[in-house]
Amino acid sequence: MAEVTARKKSSTFERVARGPLRLLTQFGGADFAERWRLRGPATKVLYHGAKTGMRAATTAVNGMTKASRLFGQPARLAPAPESALFDPTPTEEQTLIRDSMRRFADEVLRPAAYAADEATRSPREILEQSQGLGLAQLAIPEALGGMAEVRSHVAAALITEQLARGDMGLATAILAPLAVVHALVDWGTAEQQQQHLPAFLGDTFVPAAMALIEPRPLFDPMHPRAGAVRTDDGGWSLHGEKSLVPLAQSATLFAVVADVRGRGPQIFLLERKTPGLEIELEPAMGLRAAGTGRLKFNGARVSAGALLGGEEGRFDLGALVDRARVAWGAMAVGTCQAVLDYVIPYCNERQAFGEPVSNRQSVAFLIADMAIEIEGMRLLVHRAASLCERGGSIAREASLARTQCASKGMKIGTDGVQLLGGHGFVKEHPVERWYRDLRAIGIVEGALSV
């Protein structure tokens, strides 16, 4: 009976949601759309059609799920089937998702990036449009109203990379709530899942953020200084600070990593109106569109139910950190790809001494080196995501991906600025913003997840 229900739900989603997404991808790249200047208006129409399809699919799946939901037991996603081979070739579904995210990044995120960076926050209309992509549905189990059967870390890495091609700051704002969703799915109790996850499946974007990094030198994500102690009524009181928290200006829910003596680091779910929680804006050098801020816990008090997983829950901070590092690696790959895609036509069109600057061997070799490094970064990220998808430990692979992406990403950002010469120093061209954003790869911990 369960297998029949699963097949029905899968068929419903394929029929209702997949068609509009495929049309959006195929039409957006059609030559005649560009020739007749129809791409912009028609893409918007198809985008809203895809959004409607996702809503309809969610409604249908939710209706079929109510009868089969397991009360009292949290819903978890199973790892992908074991495989002895690592194949970086995306599946048909992953290709469809990747191309749809690329179209959204090009048509929606890229044009809004400059204004969002200047305003140090993401436009509400952009976040609302991103809700139509159905990212939360792809991360939440079917038993809770979503569409996921297994955790697809590779698909999440592809989504992250493509959105970062549009703008890393906006991508961070869009993807930040998914880190909270993943934590609830992986470690939340049934009550916590049913209380918080349905809101992410609605038509309105729900701002939420994971708070891990702290404002101190040599911060170790595995040993946070922010802590929590028991109160007389059985609840918890939090102390300490968190920094570079995305969506701090608007988030209604925070997942805060704090140390509990005798138990180690845990996650506490704090609502914005929590007494003792103070929020300050903290614009940074990069990721300005993410609206980063600082959280201060002056004895912030929460109930016993705010502890993720409850008293018997098992929270794996190592897994959270590793998945975040893979996500930031994917961010670096997407942004570096944007740099490469921008400098190639620039150098081909820019004239110096009567010929394109790309005719200079030093310029051509520099661009070739950028392309080679990006492919290496992408391979490390996808390898870590693939291993994580099968349920294995990725501590080594995540560290390799983070180290390589932080180092080579910064070099590619620098080289991009250098290739534009004086134009690389001014805001007329986006390379200076990408350079600033790439600095975050070796600094930020947590906040995202694959």
Given CATH 2.40.110.10, say whether it is the number of domain 210-306. Answer: yes
**Residue 182 CA: distances (Å) to CA of 83, 361, 397, 424:** 24, 47, 20, 38
From the number of C-beta atoms within 10 Å of its C-beta (0-12, 13-18, 19+), residue 266 rates as: buried
| The pair of three-digit structure tokens given for residue 114, joined into one six-digit string | 């400059």
Per-domain residue ranges of the chain = 2-204, 210-306, 317-442
Split at pLDDT 50, 70, 90, the class of 228 is very high
CB–CB of 295/264 below 8 Å? Answer: no
| pLDDT of 32 | 35
Identical fold, 2-204 and 317-442: no
Given CATH 1.20.140.10, say whether it is the number of domain 317-442. Answer: yes
Average model confidence (pLDDT) across the chain = 84
- Residue with the two structure tokens 């079929």: 64
What is the C-alpha separation between 144 and 325, in angstroms, rounded?
Answer: 27
Q: Write out pLDDT tens, residues 303-342.
A: 999 999 988 878 899 999 999 999 999 999 999 999 999 9
Split at pLDDT 50, 70, 90, the class of 84 is low
By mean pLDDT, which of 23-32, 190-199, 281-290, 330-339 is the weakest?
A: 23-32
| pLDDT of 83 | 64
Q: Write out pLDDT tens, residues 274-307.
A: 999 999 999 899 999 999 999 999 989 999 999 9
The superfamily (CATH) of domain 2-204 is Acyl-CoA dehydrogenase/oxidase, N-terminal domain (1.10.540.10)
| pLDDT of 85 | 65
Q: Is 0.75 topped by the overall pTM?
A: yes
Q: Is the dihedral of CA 23, 24, 28, 33 positive or negative?
A: positive
| pLDDT of 391 | 79
Split at pLDDT 50, 70, 90, the class of 389 is confident
Residue 278's φ and ψ, nearest 5 degrees, are -115, 135
Rg (CA), the chain: 22
DSSP-based helix, strand, coil % in the chain, nearest 5: 60, 15, 30
Q: Write out pLDDT tens, residues 245-260.
A: 999 989 999 999 999 9
